[in-house]
Chain A
Amino acid sequence: MMEWLTQEILAKYNYWIAVIIILIGFYAMIAKDNLIKKLIGLSLFQTGIFLYFISLGDVGVGWGLRSGTTYIIEAIPEGYIYINPLPTALILTAIVVSVSTLAVSLGLVIRIYEEYETIEESEIIEKERVL
């Protein structure tokens, strides 16, 4: 049990933090009533996924003794290796996608507020029923 804990939880702490952030965002997206809170939850969800990807690309274990170096090609000192540039490139694209989604959804929220005078989902559903 202790071994499992150290090997799977402590040694992979970065992935677990990413999972926690993903879950926080996911919960906020489903459970929050406020539309802007939902969008913040969506952003958290996406950032968690990005953290997962970046952790995947990182190289270098231990306490700063032997480490990775960034992917800009130059003469690097002995014992260092380049980190994985591909997840970084993918996440650059994904960040752009996330900010675009955020902008479109904020546009929708503003229109919804103009239409319904509220941004709480339950109140919107009530007003819809009246209409």
Chain B
Amino acid sequence: MIGIEHLPVLLIVLSLLAAFTIFVAGWFDKKFSWAISFITILVQLVMSIFILNHVLFTGKIDYWLSGWRPPWGIQVVVDTLNAYVLVVLLFLALLSVMYSKRNIQHELPEKVITYYAVYQLLVTGLCGVTITGDIFNMYVFVEIFSLAAYALIASRGGIALKASFVYLVMGSIGACLFVLGIGFLYSVTGSLNMADLAAILPPLYGNKMVQAAFALFVVGLSIKMALFPLHTWLPDAHSFAPAEISAMLSGIIIEVSTYALIRLSFSVFTVNFLKLLPIYDLLAWIAAIAIIYGSVMAIAQLNLKRMLAYSSVSQMGYIMLAVGLSLSTKHLLWGGLTPALMHILNHALMKGCLFMVAGAFIYKADLWNITDLRGLGRKMPWTCGAFTMAAISMIGVPPSVGFVSKIYLIFAVVEAGNFLFMAVILLSTLLNLVYFWRVIETLYMKVGEAGPHHEYEKPVKTDEIPLLMLIPILILGSLCIVMGIIWLTEIPIIGAVPIMDSVNKLFEIGRYTVVP
């Protein structure tokens, strides 16, 4: 039996080897590629659940690659935050690859092999960013997943090419700023390891190089995670990519960038540095603007995927608002990073479901615009049901995940004492209601144009998408409600709340209860 300490590294290597195997096996037979990808990601998910279990109940995994002590070699560190993000990531990746079997056959019939190879590399890069404990290594993996994402977004051709190019230019600027920040940090500390940097940095907090490095990290990663003024690549990239890539982009890729920012600012620069300058207050304000801007722009859109993309801008605003408030909430149970981490999972569930449903409409009848969706509620009852569940979650109807995020966020705002943010959240809920109600209304209340006046009285033929595409949508849609109930009752069966507590304890922010 391989020790559990080996699992994080095996996870990466297995994924890498699978990518190469897809490439070679696909040369012999196209059918292998999907199967290999699916099985690999399934195994990875199981591994990541083991890791989460181990981290939660035994302690963090600290693995020295090549057998060198950390400041000399590279280190893989998995604590609760990593393990949690890893599970969320691989869960959505698994559902996406399940969904993509039929969808990719339909959309890119000639490119199946390379599609899955690049997809597997995307998953590898995301996992690598998540588990690494070395900043330069993080940069390398950020580049891997970015390159894979550029190619996957462009794979449909047409307008997607230009969207991907814009993403490439902006993402490269972000990565360059990131590596410049690494250079600044290296020149004053001589180290690249995160834990080591955290130990060396405290006397250097006044150093201008360190401050500039932090600023460069924030700006570089803000581009990658599409924070408001730097989001311009996002709407096009989200709307023209294949559906599962949109789901991954919105649900995981920008979240992993957020994770990188959280990791760098709390693990490397630590809370003491963040309290010196009001950077996080500034971030909270920017996030508030992003929430309103994203919601307003979403209302103006006709294209369903584009609307969802702008909604992603606003949802990233929620996460960043929670991160920005994390320093000022100390006393209550929902303080610290809890709302941000919750919303990472919740957003992955909701946006994954919504983008996959949007992809299903395109798969079935090439319907892009909201007005085209009339009467589909009767034709595709399961798909539209899942859509409705995810949509009411986005609005924030009580037992759903969206409600949980919002209520935790509102409590955090109350504790931070800035009631303008509360107004922003309530206004955004209203705007969410406006643009999602429009879609739900079109789906259920309006009748198809072609049919006669009283068509709704006739039995409508259901015309569902293939089962392999339907299952992920249904899982995600139902989880939107189930997960919300679990959050609300704080049932510790999946260890959800202990995760938040131990993350808060790790970074010494917020109030944390006992970790079992």
A binding-site residues for B, Cβ under 8 Å = 22, 26, 29, 35, 38, 42, 45-46, 49, 52-53, 56, 86-87, 90, 93-94, 97, 100-101, 104-105, 108-109, 111-112, 115-116, 124, 128, 131
In the complex the two chains form, is B143's CB within 8 Å of A101's CB? yes
Known A29-B169, A38-B169, A53-B183; contact A104-B176, beta-carbon cutoff 8 A: no
Tell me the complex Cα distance, A52–B143, Å: 20
Tell me the complex Cα distance, A53–B143, Å: 19
Q: CB within 8 A of B150: which of A42, A45, A93, A104?
A: A104
| A–B pairs, 18, beta carbons within 8 Å | A22-B180, A29-B169, A29-B172, A49-B180, A56-B186, A86-B186, A90-B136, A90-B186, A93-B136, A94-B139, A97-B143, A101-B147, A104-B151, A105-B172, A108-B150, A108-B164, A109-B165, A111-B161
Q: B462 at the A/B interface (Cβ < 8 Å)?
A: no
Tell me the complex Cα distance, A45–B183, Å: 14
Tell me the complex Cα distance, A65–B180, Å: 31
In the complex the two chains form, is B162's CB within 8 Å of A100's CB? no
Q: B140 at the A/B interface (Cβ < 8 Å)?
A: yes
B residues 129-156 touching A (CB-CB < 8 Å): 136, 139-140, 143, 147, 150-151, 154
Q: B157 at the A/B interface (Cβ < 8 Å)?
A: yes
Known A52-B183, A124-B162; contact A101-B168, beta-carbon cutoff 8 A: yes
The minimal Cβ–Cβ distance linking B368 to chain A, given in whole angstroms, is 13
Q: Provide the residues of chain B in CB contact with A131, threshold 8 Å.
A: 159
Q: Provide the residues of chain A in CB contact with B179, threshold 8 Å.
A: 49, 94
Tell me the complex Cα distance, A13–B140, Å: 29
- Using CB atoms, name the residue of chain A closest to B137: A93
In the complex the two chains form, is A87's CB within 8 Å of B186's CB? yes
Count of interface residues, chain B, beta-carbon cutoff 8 Å:
25
Q: Provide the residues of chain B in CB contact with A52, threshold 8 Å.
A: 180, 183
Tell me the complex Cα distance, A29–B154, Å: 20
Q: B158 at the A/B interface (Cβ < 8 Å)?
A: yes
- Using CB atoms, name the residue of chain B closest to A56: B187
In the complex the two chains form, is A108's CB within 8 Å of B140's CB? no
Known A94-B179, A97-B140; contact A26-B168, beta-carbon cutoff 8 A: no
In the complex the two chains form, is A45's CB within 8 Å of B159's CB? no
Q: Provide the residues of chain B in CB contact with A93, threshold 8 Å.
A: 136, 140
Q: Provide the residues of chain A in CB contact with B43, threshold 8 Å.
A: none
In the complex the two chains form, is B154's CB within 8 Å of A111's CB? yes
Q: CB within 8 A of B169: which of A42, A87, A115?
A: A42
Closest 6 CB pairs of A and B: A97-B143, A112-B161, A108-B165, A56-B187, A111-B161, A105-B168
Tell me the complex Cα distance, A22–B183, Å: 14
Q: B297 at the A/B interface (Cβ < 8 Å)?
A: no
Q: Provide the residues of chain B in CB contact with A45, threshold 8 Å.
A: 173, 176
Q: Provide the residues of chain B in CB contact with A26, threshold 8 Å.
A: 173
Classify the secondary structure of B's interface with A.
helix
Known: A56-B187, A105-B169. 17 other contacts (CB 8 A): A38-B169, A42-B169, A42-B176, A45-B173, A46-B176, A49-B179, A87-B183, A93-B140, A97-B143, A100-B143, A101-B168, A104-B168, A108-B161, A108-B165, A109-B165, A115-B158, A128-B162
In the complex the two chains form, is A49's CB within 8 Å of B140's CB? no
In the complex the two chains form, is B157's CB within 8 Å of A111's CB? yes
Q: CB within 8 A of B173: which of A29, A97, A105?
A: A29
Tell me the complex Cα distance, A101–B140, Å: 12
Tell me the complex Cα distance, A97–B140, Å: 8
Q: Provide the residues of chain A in CB contact with B151, threshold 8 Å.
A: 104
The minimal Cβ–Cβ distance linking B64 to chain A, given in whole angstroms, is 18
In the complex the two chains form, is B154's CB within 8 Å of A108's CB? yes
In the complex the two chains form, is B180's CB within 8 Å of A108's CB? no
Q: CB within 8 A of A49: which of B162, B168, B183?
A: B183
Tell me the complex Cα distance, A4–B143, Å: 38
Tell me the complex Cα distance, A95–B463, Å: 52
Tell me the complex Cα distance, A103–B203, Å: 42
Q: Provide the residues of chain A in CB contact with B154, threshold 8 Å.
A: 108, 111
Most chain A CB atoms below 10 A, which of B158, B164, B172: B172
Q: Provide the residues of chain B in CB contact with A97, threshold 8 Å.
A: 140, 143
Q: Provide the residues of chain B in CB contact with A22, threshold 8 Å.
A: 180
Most chain A CB atoms below 10 A, which of B139, B173, B180, B183: B183
Q: Provide the residues of chain A in CB contact with B147, threshold 8 Å.
A: 100-101, 104
The minimal Cβ–Cβ distance linking A58 to chain B, given in whole angstroms, is 12
Q: Provide the residues of chain A in CB contact with B136, threshold 8 Å.
A: 90, 93
Most chain B CB atoms below 10 A, which of A45, A46, A94, A100: A94
Tell me the complex Cα distance, A111–B151, Å: 12
In the complex the two chains form, is A42's CB within 8 Å of B172's CB? yes
- Using CB atoms, name the residue of chain B closest to A108: B165
The minimal Cβ–Cβ distance linking B129 to chain A, given in whole angstroms, is 14
B residues 160-195 touching A (CB-CB < 8 Å): 161-162, 164-165, 168-169, 172-173, 176, 179-180, 183, 186-187
In the complex the two chains form, is B143's CB within 8 Å of A56's CB? no
Q: Provide the residues of chain B in CB contact with A100, threshold 8 Å.
A: 143, 147
Known A90-B136, A100-B147, A101-B147; contact A112-B173, beta-carbon cutoff 8 A: no
In the complex the two chains form, is A108's CB within 8 Å of B168's CB? yes
B residues 22-63 touching A (CB-CB < 8 Å): none
The minimal Cβ–Cβ distance linking A102 to chain B, given in whole angstroms, is 10
Q: CB within 8 A of B157: which of A38, A104, A109, A115?
A: A115
In the complex the two chains form, is B165's CB within 8 Å of A35's CB? yes
Tell me the complex Cα distance, A59–B168, Å: 36
- Using CB atoms, name the residue of chain A closest to B184: A52
Tell me the complex Cα distance, A67–B416, Å: 56
Q: Provide the residues of chain B in CB contact with A112, threshold 8 Å.
A: 161-162, 165
The minimal Cβ–Cβ distance linking B438 to chain A, given in whole angstroms, is 25
The minimal Cβ–Cβ distance linking A128 to chain B, given in whole angstroms, is 6
Q: Provide the residues of chain A in CB contact with B157, threshold 8 Å.
A: 111, 115
